[in-house]
Amino acid sequence: MGNYRIVTTITEMGPYVSKIILQMPYEVCAAEVSKDSFNIYVERREWDTGETVISKDFLTQEEICCKGYQTPRNVYPCDEAGVYKEQGSFVALELSEEALGKRVEGTVLASRYIKNAYRITLLHTFGNDPCKAGLVFEECTGELCPQLDGWKTQKYPEGDSRLNYGYFVPQAEGRIPLVIWLHGAGEGGKDPNIVLTANKISNLSSPDIQLFFGGAAYILAPQCPTVWMDDGVEKLGRSNQSIYVKPLKACIDAFIKEHQATVDMERIYVGGMSNGGFMTIRMLLDYPDFFAAALPACEAFYSANITDEMLNSIKHIPTWFVHCKRDELVPPRETALPTYFRLKEAGAENIHFTYYEILLDTTGRYKDELGQPQKMFNHAVWNNVLNNECHTELDGTNVCVKGEPMTIWEWMANQRKK
């Protein structure tokens, strides 16, 4: 019996198995392998019980098949990291992004990693090697995720009141800015790997975005045990209160203390999506002199419960809102839109709002039956944010700084606490 490793890719739809690396008992040439060389069977199982996952579509609630066959879109010899070689003792099976390969499962309130258990069968013999067809690869010996190179997690023991978190530490010298990114409702719990992979926050460590911050920025991604909107009574209510304000600030302060010699205290930024967008506003209100700029995306902070005095306390903070008009979960007319207009009326000068009519795929990977960009979940503006695609004002014109058009992360990096 042979073994294999999986490669996980973080996409706009979450983390998926994108490649299986088989360890062959002998070297294989590129001309010997093809998409017909292997049969790939997989079951999505619960880690704790081993039972097959029961999954439902988030919007339609239709059951999704959690076991079956996948067809590779490419097969080739490779090294142990999955990089192509003309001849090698490993073989890579590249997979398309499909339900059977998804690494997480969950609801709007929580997500969990599941086990993608593969059974790969060799369908023919290579050359004159004595190894015959029927060789089975069934033992997974590890997982790779290149997008998380440089990322680490901090997980505290059960019962510890401190928040778990993921973080990225760049290789740089001197004072470095800190970006705090707050997850959505589905990424709470006790596994910070969910925070790092359920959405593409790994983009924040990419060279393109890091370059905006002078080539280096710390990224801190805290995880709350439930949801940021948990006020102690309701988990997704409209009180605009959170039991996690002080624990989150303590998490941020502890990270800064650990890196106190290099964190630039004038360039600490906070942003988040949905539930994390709510918490972004909450943290601005509770610590109005701490952050250099904010990025609340599809935020669920209800404007009716914000007093004029509260708004006056944060109008000096550069803020860029992002929302979709047809958001299925958080109505912008009750949250971001009135807050934005009230801040403008209060005298906020450095404030922006990118507003989408609907969300369409911008990657080119997702298409409808006519080959057009697929209509996406209208709540998921965080994909546009994390892909650095937001660049317009509410009226559709470009956001400009001193006459120069800027994207959302370029703008963020240009802010400094006054």
Q: pLDDT by residue (tens digit) across 27-73?
A: 889 998 999 999 999 999 999 999 999 877 666 667 777 999 999 99
* pLDDT, tens only, 370-416: 999 999 999 999 999 999 999 999 999 999 988 999 999 999 999 99
Question: Of the candidates 79, 104, 96, which has an alpha carbon nearest to the alpha carbon of residue 40?
Answer: 96
3-state secondary structure of 297: strand
Contact 182, 382 (CB under 8 A): no
What is the reported pLDDT for 56?
73
As a whole-number percent, the residues of the chain with pLDDT over 90 amount to 88
What is the DSSP annotation of 66-124?
-EEEE--SEEEEE-TT--B-SEEEEEEEE----GGGB-EEE-SS-EEE-EEEEEEEE-S
Residues 196-204 have a mean pLDDT of 95
Query: What is d(CA 251, CA 191) in angstroms, rounded to the nearest whole number?
Result: 16
Does 130 score more than 80 pLDDT?
no
What's the chain's length in residues?
418
Q: What is the dihedral of CA 398, 403, 406, 410, to 10 degrees?
A: -150
Kindly report, residue by residue over 306-331, the tens digit of the pLDDT: 999 999 999 999 999 999 999 999 99
For residues 95 and 213, the answer to whether their CB atoms sit within 8 Å is no
pLDDT at 75: 97
